[in-house]
Structures are given as C-alpha cells and as structure tokens.
C-alpha cells in the first residue's frame, strides 16, 4: 500500500505502483488543475511539489510518492504562492492558460527556495515549462513582481 | 461532405485583403436584420442545460450580473475579455458586474459576420466582426433599461442616467438587474445610439483579463477536465502513415490490462476504452497492429523536396502579373536570386487534441474547444444519424489552438464520435490523444518552396520581382474550396502576391503540390512563410543594390501609409542605424495580415561559435481601434514567441511516409531562456478594429533573419535555423 500526504490530507493507494501521480490525482481524486501535456516530463504542465520540490507528475510513479508530501495547484497556500498568483493576475500573464498551473507551481517553488531570483535564475527554474502561447515575457516579469512583494512584506 | 459555399465577398477564413470597405458593408448588412437578442434570466445555469433556449448575446440577471454570450472560441487570444468589454462599454456597465459564457453551436444566431452562414473563429476576425454587432446589442440593452426606468418612474427618458450598472433619475435609483424584467417588455430600438469614441471609458483602456484568476489558480476547465457520470476514457491508435488503413490487430494483451473495458476497431483506428487515462494509454501500447499501406503517402521529406523543386522549374498559376518581368530582367543592371525551404509545422498546442462525447438515444452532446462548431455538429450528425439540431456543442476553453481546432473534417471530434457510436453510447467517452498522436496526426502548416528572382536597374532601384511558390493547398478538397477565387489557393499566395512594395514589373505564380500529408491553417496561414520569404529576399535585393533595407522599404511604401507608419515607429524606437556592439545586428520586417499592420525590429547577437541569441524585439501594430490594448500587447508578445519558436527549432519531417518527430524532445518549441525582451507599440487609430491573434507572427522570422544577415552577410533560407548558424 502506498500512503502519502496530498494537500495536507492523508491518502492511500493500492493500485498499480507504476501509475503516474498525475493520473491518480486527476482521475481518482478528481483534482484537475494539473494538466497532461506530454507524458514524458518535457513540458511541465503537470508540475506538482513533492516534498517542496517541483516534479513532473506525468512521469513520477505512485511508488515515488510513498511517504512524501505532495502539493498540487489546488493545495497551494504559501506566502510565495499567494504572491505568485497575485502577480500573475496583476500582469495578466495567462493566455490559453493550459500550462499555467504548471508555470505557477514551478515559479512558486523557485521563490520558496530563492526569494530574489535574477533573470538567469528564472530561466533555469522555468526552462522545463513550455508555454505555446509564449507568455514567457510576462512570466519573467510576474516572478520579479512577486519577489518584490515578498521583499516588501519582510521589511 | 458538402456544405453550402459561403459568399466570397464577405466570408473570410483568411483572405489576404479584408478591406475596410468590406467591413463597413458587412456591418451594414448585419444592421438591417438587427435583433437585439436579449433574454432576462434569473437562472442562467438552468438555461445552459438547454442550449437552444439560451439568450442571444446579453443576459441581465436580478443580481445585477450581466452575462455576455461569446460566439467565438477563446483559445488564449482573449476574446472573452474583448467581447465582454465591448458590451460593457455600450451599456455603461461596471466591469465587476460582467460575466461571460460560450455560445452553443447555432449558426443562425452566432454566425461569424465575415463568414456568411458559418459560426466560427479564425482569420483574426472575432473582434472585427463582433464590434458593431455587440456595440448595437449593448446600446440597445441600455436604451431598453432607460425606457423601462422612465416608464416606471414617470419621467422623461432623457432624465434617466445609466452609469456603472445603475439607473438614476429624480432621486430614484435602481440597478440594471432590478429593471431587467421591465426592460424585457420594452420594444428594442431599431437604431440604438452608439457612444462616440470620446465617450469610451473601457474600450482602449485595458480592462483586466476576465479569465486571469481561474487560469492562475487551476480552476479553469478545458475539455480534458470535463467530468460526466459513468464517463470512460478512450485512447486511439491511428495509422502510422497518412492514408494507411487497418490490416489486422491483436488486442489480447490490451484487453488484459487492468482497467481496460473494451477494444474496438473503427475506420479511423483501434480504440482502447478504459476506466481511466492510464489504463487506456497502457492498453493502447499493448496493441499489435499491422497497417495496410497500399493507399498511403510513403514519400520521405527528401523526396518531397525534390518533387517540389522540380515543380518550381515550371510555370505556375499566375496570381499577379504587373508590367513585364521578362523585359525588366533583360534590361537589368544586375539580377538577384534566392530559394527558400519551409518545413511542415505542427501546431503542438499544450492540450493535445481531445473531445468528450455523450451520445444518448435522441441527442449527441459534444464537449470540446472548437473553432468551427457547425462542422463538428454536422460531422457528428452524419456519424450518429441524428438530425443536426440534436447535436449540441458545449464549448470549452481550448488549451491553445493556433488553427488546429478548425478542422474541415473534424478529425479529432470524429475520432470521439465514431467511438461513442461504436459502443452505442453505452457511456460518455473522453477521447484523448497522446502528445505523440497529436504530433503525428498531420494538419500541418504546409511545406513550402519559394524561388525568387529580382531585377535591379541602372539607378539601383528594384525594377522587377518574380516570386514563385510550391506548396500544398489548404482549402482545395474541403468544404471551404469555394472560397478560392483565382487559379491558386489564396492560402498559398497571401502575403506574397499582394506585396505592397512599389515595383513596376511584378509577377507571382505558384503550384499547388499534391501530397498525402493533411495540411491546415497554422497561426497566420500563408503569411507565415510568405512574409519570411519576401522580407528576407527584400534585404538580399537591398544589399545587392547598395541600399539600406529600412530606407528602401520607406521609399517603396510611400503609397501605403499604414505600413509606413508602423515601420517608422519601430525604426525610431530601436534607434535604427546607431552603433551596436560587434556581432550584434538589427533586422526589420513589415507585413500586413488579416487587415492589421505590424512592423518589427529584432536585435540578434551572433557569437563566434555560430550560436546566437535573439535579444530584443520592437513591435508596432496598427489594428484600428484598440479595444483591449493589453490583450493586443499580449497577442503581439505571443505571436512573436510563436513565430520565433518555429524559425528557431520546429520542423516535422517524414521518413518513408512516417512522421519522424514524437514529442517535445524532438519537436522543440521555444522555452523561456530563448524569449527576447519585447516592446510593443500600438498605433492610435479611429479605424474599425481588425485582428491581432495572427498578425504578430509573420514579421518576427524575417526580422530575426535580417538581423543575422546584417552580421554574417548571409541570408537564412532554410528553416528551422537550429541552435547554430550554418
């Protein structure tokens, strides 16, 4: 049996341990914010946090979640997450929006680890997330915006 | 499949020249039969269960919310915001009270006014064709609310003020919602008074995007998120070559996969139906299939290029012929020649194509993001045997489209409906393609081969220009074939045959090459390669003539003030002509598409190891009245990113008829580290609005190539460029 914490709740699973975390969360728990984009960890639309680190849930088997703390976009509530989502709305980052859950998850993980990233840090952290609408320009700006917000809250 | 042909003069999927005159004419026609389309509803959600009973364009509820019915698909381009803003403007509504919902498939009420009898989204027409229609609807609604208040309060209509969703007069006050029922009894005005541009408070002022919150928090619903009771998931194994058919299948292993319910063969492939996505995907992988290739396209890309190039040696169908090109060449001081190769491109939307179908005994419900819902409705009707009016399309947000969700034969919707029919509607079906299915399914931006020859006269002017193209027709053989008026599919010629530069002897001809690879409109359609080829060749000619490419453009665009204005704007903003660091260059391109005008300057740094970086882009756009300026800026940024993505790293190639690429590791879109800094300038205008979804894409490729040329002296004629220059 596989058991772990998902968005603060304990969940248990007894099916195929190879099933990707993405499909468990979407199809069995009905949390649909994380998206399917490529199935091979190349686009980032499925990004979740596993013990605070961003992972591609489409290629993370259920076995890897055992004993872990998993957060999806539905469970985001950290200070960094709030700043990121507010900045996303303030700058109207989204277009089609399909990749944006994954973008927000990666950006939040970045700010949780590095409160004042420069452009290079952003490029490094966000390179795994494809956006076909190419909202990259605003993603970069919104991460800086959120970083500024966090800095103001501290001071 | 036969559908009535649309009228050519006002049915525009992607015609190169949608003139202002045409726009005004179409608007006037729509004005004659203007119906206000109001329904005052207490329970919009209950109505949504019965699409045919839905209100027309505007619903005002008792809680004072105003819902705008959006007849176009929002695939990221922001029409939900733009169309809602137009209504809110004319109604003097408060932005906070505005809501929106997608219209059902109903071409009677929700046709694209530029497409005649069809409902649809494409050709960057959503704002343009809705502009007067929704202004009139909003203005009429406001007039009816005012008339109702005047009647109830026994005051003159002129005394009633409608502001911020409130009606006031002589000390009385009511919300629009309070007055909605009474207003519904008022006869709609025949010619509602529209606001003047000076009175606009929302249009041109950048309202916030109406879908930002739900899309930033994971709450927005797409087709993949549709949940219906008892729904099963289907994965479909499609032929590995275009035109191949099923020979035999062994599904024993697939049936043994836990969660797989059934395996069915359809004319379109083998479908695995399962309890969830994982089981369906596992089941599909376990299939052993033999395909019959006897009718399939089996050529490789190298062979296709040879065939295209051989065709280019012969005269094509002439789309434009001014003056005497042969004479210009005979008298030329020098001639310039260049050839270009453009690969097939996949749309590669983030959400791979999908469709949910709930086939019931007397109705078929389709849940998907569709650019042309009427076609999907028709196709589903043909497959299920149900009358068209019993097919209901429930439009969902599309996770990108760029043209992919406007398919003349409804390929992915057909997959889903065929499966639903095969199981007799035993359960609702979510048909989901894998990324690999999506990449390999065809409907590509066509391959194109361009061949140029120009004559330069004794005065170093361009005296002759011959542009020949070989590409596949997008429209031929589809229900849209009737839109082709000349000898050559305009989707091949657009942006090339109507080159604006003043050149006395000009010839454009082309061939519609035949290949078994299905092709489709891809963000900006023919402009995507014609802008590149013409603007890069222009620089080649300018350099041969010893002229500055920007100055020569200015000189030859004197008769085209809108081209010239956007060009001059980006030249000024980018400090064209000023000194740059070694290895860094600027390139410029200007292009009209979908009746909007865009110029871009790109700054590119070329390194010693032939790697390069696109550092900055300046973009000026003239799209008439800027309804929602920040959405326009976003579409320019996105259009630039999409075009850049293609020229840097995208290509679909064939090996023995099989698509070589699989997923994002070998079909490689732009990533954040490749995105330049972009500055967008919107030209002030009082001309009726035109589109912005596509026009940002065509100029970026040539601007970048011309910047590279300014450093290396060599034109980039083969795409994609790749990580290093050759």
Report pLDDT digits (tens) over B522-550: 999 999 999 999 999 999 999 999 999 99
Q: Which residue of B has its CA nearest to A81?
A: B217
Residue B8: inside a domain: no
**Helix H or strand E segment including B26:** helix B20-32
**Cβ under 8 Å to A: B residues 440-499:** none
Give B391-425 pLDDT, tens digit per residue: 999 999 999 999 999 999 999 999 999 999 999 99
Q: How much is the mean pLDDT over chain A?
A: 97
Q: Are residues B412 and B467 in the same domain?
A: no
Half-sphere exposure of B320 (CA within 13 A, CB side): 23
Alpha helices for B72-175 (secondary structure H): 79-91, 107-110, 126-153
> What average pLDDT does this structure show over B111-139?
90
**Residue A31, min C-alpha distance to chain B (Å):** 9
The token pair that represents B442 in the structure block: 């065809």
Q: Which residues of B438-470 are buried (b: 16+ CB within 10 A; e: fewer)?
A: bbbbbbbbbbbbbbbbbbbbeeebbbbbbbbbb
Query: For chains A and B, what is the number of CB pairs under 8 angstroms?
Result: 176
Token duo for residue A53: 């680190």
A37 and B221 in contact by Cβ < 8 A? no
Same domain, B176 and B286: no
Residue B281 sits in the same domain as residue B361: yes
- Disruptive mutation site among A26, A76, A93, A96 for chain B (greatest number of B CBs within 10 Å): A96
Rounded CA separation B230/B455 (Å): 68
Residues 181-240, chain B, touching A (beta carbon < 8 A) = 208-209, 211-222, 224-225, 227, 233
Distance to chain A for B442, nearest Cα, Å = 17
- Angle in degrees, CA B174, B180, B181, rounded to 5: 120
Residue B486, pLDDT score: 87
Of B212, B350, B397, nearest to A89 by CB-CB distance is B212
The CA distances from residue B301 to B19, B108, B562, in Å, are: 38, 44, 40
Chosen domain end from B372, B397, B432: B432
- What percentage of chain B exceeds 90 in pLDDT? 85
Same-domain check for residues B187 and B318 = no
What kind of fold does domain A79-154 have according to CATH?
DNA polymerase; domain 1 (1.10.150)
Are B306 and B289 members of one domain?
Answer: no
String of DSSP letters for B483-529: G--SSS-HHHHTTTTT--S--SEEEEEEEEE--SS-B---TTTTHHH
Query: Are residue B235 and residue B212 in the same domain, yes or no?
Result: no
CATH architecture under which domain A2-75 falls: Roll (3.10)
For chain A, say whether B682 makes contact (Cβ under 8 Å).
no
Return the bridge partners of B341, or none: B449, B718
Which of B156, B185, B216 is the endpoint of a domain?
B216
Considering only CB atoms, B349 lies closest to which of A19, A132, A134, namely A132
Residue B49 pLDDT: 28
In terms of Cα–Cα distance, which of B54, B3, B693 is closest to B374? B3
The pLDDT value given to residue B28 = 26
Task: State the pLDDT confidence band at B480, using cuts at 50, 70 and 90.
Answer: confident
Per-residue pLDDT for B51 more than 80? Answer: no
Per-residue model confidence as pLDDT tens digits over B656-711: 999 999 999 999 999 999 999 999 999 999 999 999 999 999 999 999 999 999 99
CA nearest A72 in B: which residue? B218
Question: Is it the case that residue B307 has pLDDT exceeding 50?
Answer: yes
Q: Stretch A15-36: mean pLDDT, rounded?
A: 97
What are the chain B neighbours of A89 within 8 Å (beta carbons)? 208, 212-213, 216
Q: How many angstroms separate the first and last alpha carbons of chain B?
A: 46
* 8 Å CB contact of B634 and A92: yes
Segment B564-583, tens digit of pLDDT: 999 999 999 999 999 999 99
Count CA atoms closer than 13 A to B168's CA, side-chain side: 6
| Residues B476, B419 within the same domain | no
The reply to whether A79-154 shares the fold of A2-75 is: no
B147 and B210 share one domain: yes
With contact defined as beta carbons under 8 Å apart, do B448 and B471 qualify? yes
The domain boundary, picked from B432, B465, B498, lies at B432
Query: Is residue A146 within 8 Å of A111, Cβ to Cβ?
Result: yes
Give the CATH number of the domain where residue B260 resides.
Answer: 3.30.365.10
Query: Using omega within 30 degrees of 0 as the cis cutoff, is the peptide bond preceding A114 cis?
Result: no
Same domain (yes/no): B490, B575: yes
Q: CA nearest B516: which of B121, B244, B166, B179?
A: B244
Mention every residue, 6+ apart, whose C-beta is less than 8 A from residue B551. Answer: none
∠ at Cα A18 (B262, A66), nearest 5°?
135
Q: Are residues B386 and B453 in the same domain?
A: no
In order of B299, B495, B547, the CA distances from B624 in angstroms are 45, 19, 32
| Position A10 confidence tier, pLDDT thresholds 50, 70, 90 | very high
Class of residue B33 by CB neighbours under 10 A (exposed 0-12, middle 13-18, buried 19+): exposed
Residues in B closer than 8 angstroms to A15, CB to CB, are 258
- Answer yes or no: is pLDDT of B291 > 90: yes
Whether B281 and B366 share a structural domain: yes
Distance from B710 to chain A by nearest Cα, in Å? 26
The per-residue DSSP string of B539-608 comes to HHHHHHTT--HHHHHHHHTTT-HHHHHHHHHHHHHTTTTS---TTEEEEEEEEEETTEEEEEEEEEEE-T
Averaged pLDDT, B92-100: 96
Nearest chain B CA: its distance from A154 CA (Å):
24
- CB nearest to A30's CB, from B220, B227, B631: B227
Q: Does B645 touch chain A (CB under 8 A)?
A: yes
| Contact call for A134 and B399, based on CB within 8 A | no
Name residue, tokens 């980052």.
Answer: A93
Banded pLDDT at A154 (limits 50, 70, 90): low
Q: Give the 3-state secondary structure percentages of chain B, helix then strand then coil, rounded to 5.
A: 35, 25, 45
User: B217 and A85 in contact by Cβ < 8 A?
Assistant: yes
Q: How many domains does chain B have?
A: 3
Contact residues, chain B, for A73 at CB < 8 Å = 217-218
Give ipTM to 2 decimals.
Answer: 0.98
Domain chopping of chain A, boundaries: 2-75, 79-154
Q: Is B49 exposed, middle or buried (0-12, 13-18, 19+ CB in 10 A)?
A: exposed
- Residue B42, domain extent: 20-216
- Show the tokens assigned to B413: 């919707």
């Amino acid at each position: 049996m596989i058991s772990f914490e998902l968005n603060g709740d304990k969940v248990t699973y007894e099916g195929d341990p190879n099933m990707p975390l993405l499909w468990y969360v979407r199809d069995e728990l009905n949390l649909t914010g994380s998206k399917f984009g490529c199935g091979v960890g190349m686009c980032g639309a499925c990004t979740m946090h596993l013990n605070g680190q961003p992972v591609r849930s489409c290629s993370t088997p259920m076995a890897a979640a055992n004993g872990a703390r998993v957060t999806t976009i539905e469970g985001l509530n950290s200070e960094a997450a709030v700043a990121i989502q507010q900045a996303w709305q303030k700058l109207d980052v989204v277009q089609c929006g399909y990749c944006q859950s994954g973008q927000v998850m990666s950006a939040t993980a970045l700010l949780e680890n590095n409160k004042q990233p420069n452009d290079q840090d952003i490029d490094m952290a966000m390179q795994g997330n494809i956006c076909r609408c190419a909202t990259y320009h605003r993603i970069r700006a919104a991460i800086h915006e959120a970083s500024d917000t966090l800095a103001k809250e501290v001071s | 499949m036969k559908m009535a042909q649309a009228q050519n003069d006002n049915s525009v999927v992607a015609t190169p020249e949608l003139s202002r005159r045409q726009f005004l004419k179409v608007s006037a026609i729509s004005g004659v039969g203007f119906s206000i389309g109001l329904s005052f509803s207490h329970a919009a959600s209950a109505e949504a269960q019965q699409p045919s009973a839905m209100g027309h364009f505007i619903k005002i509820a008792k809680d004072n919310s105003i819902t705008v019915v959006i007849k176009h698909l929002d695939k990221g381009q922001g029409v939900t915001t733009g169309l809602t803003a137009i209504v809110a403007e004319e109604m003097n509504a408060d932005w906070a009270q505005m809501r929106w919902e997608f219209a059902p498939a109903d071409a009677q009420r929700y046709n694209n006014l530029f497409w005649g009898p069809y409902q649809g989204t494409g050709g960057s027409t959503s704002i343009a064709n809705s502009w007067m229609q929704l202004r009139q609807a909003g203005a009429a609604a406001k007039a009816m609310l005012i008339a109702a208040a005047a009647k109830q309060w026994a005051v003159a209509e002129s005394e009633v003020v409608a502001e911020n969703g409130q009606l006031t007069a002589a000390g009385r006050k009511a919300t629009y919602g309070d007055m909605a029922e009474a207003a519904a009894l008022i006869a709609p005005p025949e010619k509602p008074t529209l606001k003047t541009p000076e009175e606009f408070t929302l249009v041109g002022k950048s309202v916030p995007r109406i879908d930002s919150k739900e899309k930033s928090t994971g709450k927005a619903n797409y087709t993949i998120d549709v949940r219906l009771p008892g729904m099963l998931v289907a994965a479909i194994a499609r032929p590995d070559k275009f035109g191949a058919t099923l020979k035999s299948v062994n599904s024993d292993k697939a049936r043994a996969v836990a969660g797989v319910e059934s395996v069915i063969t359809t004319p379109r492939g083998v479908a695995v139906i399962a309890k969830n996505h994982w089981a369906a995907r596992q089941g599909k992988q376990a299939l052993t299939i033999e395909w019959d290739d006897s009718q399939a396209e089996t050529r490789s890309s190298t062979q296709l290029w040879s065939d295209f190039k051989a065709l280019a040696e012969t005269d094509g169908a002439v789309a434009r012929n001014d003056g005497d090109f042969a004479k210009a060449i005979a008298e030329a001081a020098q001639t310039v020649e260049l050839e270009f190769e453009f690969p097939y491109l996949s749309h590669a939307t983030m959400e791979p194509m999908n469709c949910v179908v709930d086939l019931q005994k007397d109705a078929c419900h389709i849940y998907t993001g569709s650019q042309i819902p009427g076609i999907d409705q028709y196709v589903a009707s043909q497959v299920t045997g149900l009358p068209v009016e019993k097919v209901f399309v429930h439009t969902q947000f599309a996770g990108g489209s760029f043209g992919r969700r406007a398919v003349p034969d409804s390929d992915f919707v057909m997959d889903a409906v065929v499966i639903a029919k095969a199981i007799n509607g035993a359960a609702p079906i979510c048909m989901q393609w894998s990324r690999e299915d999506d990449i390999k399914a065809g409907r590509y931006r066509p391959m194109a081969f361009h061949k140029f020859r120009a004559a330069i006269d004794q005065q170093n002017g361009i005296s002759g220009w011959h542009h020949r193209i070989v590409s596949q027709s997008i429209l031929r053989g589809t229900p849209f074939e009737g839109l082709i008026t000349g000898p050559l599919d305009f989707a091949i010629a657009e942006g090339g045959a109507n080159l604006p530069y003043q050149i006395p002897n000009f010839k454009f001809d082309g061939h519609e090459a035949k290949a078994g690879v299905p092709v489709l409109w891809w963000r900006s359609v023919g402009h995507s390669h014609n802008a590149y080829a013409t603007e890069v060749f222009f620089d080649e000619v300018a350099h041969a003539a010893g002229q500055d490419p920007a100055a020569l453009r200015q000189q030859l665009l004197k008769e085209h003030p809108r081209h010239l204005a956007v060009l001059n704007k980006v030249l000024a903003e980018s400090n064209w002509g000023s000194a740059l660091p070694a290895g860094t260059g600027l390139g410029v391109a200007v292009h009209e598409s979908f009746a909007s005008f865009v110029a871009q300057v790109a700054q590119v740094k070329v390194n010693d190891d032939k790697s390069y970086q696109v550092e900055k882009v300046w973009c000026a756009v003239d799209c008439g009245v800027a309804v929602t300026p920040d959405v326009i800026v976003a579409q320019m940024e996105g259009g630039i990113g999409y075009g850049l993505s293609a020229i840097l790293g995208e290509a679909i190639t064939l090996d023995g008829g099989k698509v070589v690429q699989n997923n994002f590791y070998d079909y490689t879109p732009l990533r954040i580290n490749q995105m330049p800094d972009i500055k967008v300038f919107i030209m002030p205008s009082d001309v009726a609005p035109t589109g912005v979804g596509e026009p940002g894409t065509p100029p970026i490729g040539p601007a970048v190539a011309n910047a590279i040329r300014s450093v290396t002296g060599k034109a980039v004629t083969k795409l994609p460029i790749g990580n290093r220059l050759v």
